[in-house]
Amino acid sequence: MDFNTSTALITGSSGGIGEEFAIQLAQRGAHLVLVARRGDKLAKLRDTLTVKHPGIVVDVITADLAVPGSGAELEGKVRELGRSIDVLVNNAGVGLHGKFVLQTPEANAAQIQLNCGTLVDLTARFLPAMKERRHGVVINVASTAAFQPTPGMAVYGATKAFVLSFTEALWQECRGTGITVLALCPGATETEFFDRTGEEFLTDGRQTSQQVVDTALAALDKSSPTVVSGLRNVILASGYRVTPRKLMLAVSERLLKSN
């Protein structure tokens, strides 16, 4: 897929998978709108990318997308910049680790808002213009956690199941419109995600952000709504089809326990 001179909005782009999307899309000649809470890291990434790729424009928007109404505010800032979004990468997300009963209602509400609410909101705000132009890309970052319940990260897994279902439905609705929709399902990846949970788990077989983004960009040229990154993750994600639900819950809980 040709990204040259297109404009990509990437949420959660101050590190990890979002940062890697920015790096790889910049290499392909895309202009960027980088969004995250950490403005200092975004500014550093912008400076690095514009030095390496002087032909692109990189805008930085600092925003907390876990706050209700943040999608509308972000859309307004993009409009003020005069940017038309061709590629939307809904990457921002958070996961709480531990038993649900020990988590606060406020933290889980913020998790649902970020992982689901704002993702849907941003898609709703930028997709119609793509449809009018009959050209665009929407990549929603789900997870292999989307394929089965995840005791120990109950709300996180449920939010990613929502993202997967929403994105696959959107893929079907957008067929024949010139818009490419993809649900990206990474497994455990070497990012700050695990640092933020304050726990060590899923330490074996982690992929790099580069491997995940390589998989996503390669999948855009194929006619599939979903891609799972990594053969091991493909096998694990497909296990739900043949594993009894009760056994699957026990295995999933064991995998997510802290080391």
- Please list, residue by residue across 81-91, b when 16 or more beta carbons sit within 10 angstroms of its beta carbon and e when fewer do: eebebbbbbbb
Residue among 3, 21, 147, 156 flagged as catalytic? 156
Active-site residue 156, yes or no? yes
The DSSP-derived string for the chain is ---TT-EEEEESTTSHHHHHHHHHHHHTT-EEEEEES-HHHHHHHHHHHHHH-TTS-EEEEE--TTSTTHHHHHHHHHHHHT---SEEEE-------S-GGGS-HHHHHHHHIIIIIHHHHHHHHHHHHHHHHT-EEEEEE--GGGGS--TTSHHHHHHHHHHHHHHHHHHHHTTTTTEEEEEEE--SBSSTHHHHHT-----TTPBPHHHHHHHHHHHTTSS-SEEESSHHHHHHHHGGGTS-HHHHHHHHHHHTS--
Residues marked as catalytic? 156
